[in-house]
């Protein structure tokens, strides 16, 4: 019944777009876009160069579908302290995730994107992730506009904001092709916000400046003062990125990026830079209470620092690919607080991935990741969460991927009475995924 429902949802959305499709052409390739299949791996911002000519309005439908089987086990200090008892888990299939994407070439150098979640752990119903319009050319005559747009890209919409490089490699609902592992970072920086971004790219250098409403959705509500925070001003988020990305030789590529995000006073319901993923974690119900549910406890294994009122975050990323070997590293520092706190807290995150791709067209890979988060969650002592992952994958075709991983995660210095006190989980996750 579940798969029948997903097919009906996809058919309904496609039917709604049919009048537009009849006047346009369906296409596999649209200029200035990132593919959802193997061709999109290790692509970050869309490049300014393209060999695809505009010949009229074109529509490209894509999707991502992921089914996982989980064999994880967890434990905490239950029985030794008053820590709550953990949710009972056994090996089994998790809820299937499905995404639907639509890219439309509206005019020469103008592309529209719309992404919908057909099914996810946190929301089983269909709903829109976000959409944006991207300008790589402007329909204005004059050499000055042509010269500006040769190096400039403009994005406007309710969209995944470009903070850090890790969000280009994460699992996003049913679309998990870019991630060589099953799950994302412990502290997962990802959010969809309403705003705009301007990019300038030339000779491998990239600069980006963005501004957004700082909230996961539209909000015109007034901000309510609290005893700890009487600031009722609602501020936008400002964020920036600088990067250098260059292929030194045919088989050697390097990239370094630095990102910064700031919001001085988020509005009602708060900023969600570390809690903006509305699909959920791919580790189901680990370190969750017996009263938990799949949707209400959707972010198992992650750590949200709760910087909902004020936040400053910086992320430094380094990527290198030498023949089939890849290394991707992240160092991140975030500081902020909620509107129930007087002073700011700090969290640090470090992660490093090693991937070796081999075989025909690099259709096989093995990978390892180390990820650790340390900082102040408002307890008497700082806490630490660390994770070690080993994985392997096989691209059966460029659209079909089978991957599996073994993970071990530990929670340290959480206070007695917290469900994560002396917590840990380990085991395997196998994922079958389709991207097109």
Per-residue pLDDT tens over the stretch 268-295: 889 999 999 989 999 999 999 999 999 8
> What is the tens place of the pLDDT at every residue in 36-69?
999 999 999 999 988 888 888 999 999 999 999 9
Q: Whole-number mean pLDDT of the chain?
A: 92
pLDDT at 17 over 90: no
- The domain made up of 2-435 has a fold known as Porin (2.40.160)
Name the more confident of 403 and 19.
Answer: 403
Cβ-based neighbours of 40, under 8 Å, separated by 6 or more: 34, 177, 178, 435
Residue-level pLDDT at 24: 60
Residues 279 and 333: beta-carbon distance below 8 Å: no
pLDDT at 209 over 50: yes
Residue-level pLDDT at 406: 98
Residue-level pLDDT at 21: 46
pLDDT at 305 over 70: yes
- pLDDT category of residue 7 using cuts at 50, 70 and 90: very low
Give the domain ranges of the chain: 2-435
pLDDT at 324 over 90: yes
Residue-level pLDDT at 23: 53
pLDDT above 70: percentage of residues in the chain: 94
């Amino acid at each position: 019944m579940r798969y029948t429902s997903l097919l009906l949802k996809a058919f309904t959305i496609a039917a709604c777009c049919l009048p537009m499709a009849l006047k346009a052409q369906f296409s596999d390739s649209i200029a200035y876009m990132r593919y959802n299949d193997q061709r999109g791996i290790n692509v970050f911002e869309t490049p300014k160069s393209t060999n695809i000519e505009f010949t009229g309005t074109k529509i490209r439908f894509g999707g991502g579908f992921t089914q996982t089987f989980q064999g994880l086990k967890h434990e905490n200090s239950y029985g030794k302290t008053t820590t709550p008892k953990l949710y009972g888990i056994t090996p089994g299939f998790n809820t299937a995730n499905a995404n639907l994407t639509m890219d439309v070439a509206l005019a020469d150098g103008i592309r529209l994107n719309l992404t919908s979640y057909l099914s996810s752990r946190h929301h089983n119903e269909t709903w829109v992730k976000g959409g944006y319009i991207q300008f790589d050319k402007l329909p204005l005559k004059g050499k000055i506009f042509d010269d500006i747009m040769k190096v400039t890209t403009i994005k406007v919409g309710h969209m995944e904001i470009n903070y850090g490089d890790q969000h280009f490699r994460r699992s996003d609902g049913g679309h998990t092709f870019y991630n060589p592992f099953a799950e994302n970072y412990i502290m997962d920086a990802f959010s969809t916000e309403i705003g705009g971004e301007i990019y300038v790219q030339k000779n491998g250098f990239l600069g980006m400046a963005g501004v957004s409403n700082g909230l996961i959705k539209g909000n015109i509500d007034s901000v309510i003062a609290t005893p700890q925070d009487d600031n009722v001003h609602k501020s936008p988020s400002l964020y920036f990125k600088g990067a250098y990305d260059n292929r030194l030789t045919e088989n050697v590529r390097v990239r370094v990026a630095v990102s910064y995000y700031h919001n001085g006073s988020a509005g009602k319901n708060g900023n969600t830079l570390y809690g903006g993923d509305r699909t959920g974690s791919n580790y189901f119900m680990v370190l969750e209470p017996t009263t938990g549910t799949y949707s209400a406890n959707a972010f198992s294994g992650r750590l949200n620092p709760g910087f909902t009122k004020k936040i400053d975050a910086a992320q430094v990323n380094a990527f290198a690919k030498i023949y089939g070997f890849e290394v991707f590293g992240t160092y991140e520092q975030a500081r902020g607080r909620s509107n129930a706190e007087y002073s700011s807290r700090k969290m640090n995150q470090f992660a490093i991935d090693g991937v070796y791709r081999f075989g025909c067209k690099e259709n096989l890979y093995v990978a390892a990741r180390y990820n650790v988060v340390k900082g102040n969650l408002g307890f008497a002592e700082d806490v630490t969460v660390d994770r070690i992952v080993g994985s392997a994958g096989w691209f059966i075709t460029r659209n079909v991927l089978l991957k599996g991983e073994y993970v071990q995660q530990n929670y340290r210095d959480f206070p007695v009475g917290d469900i994560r006190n002396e917590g840990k989980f380990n085991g395997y996750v196998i994922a079958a995924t389709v991207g097109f």
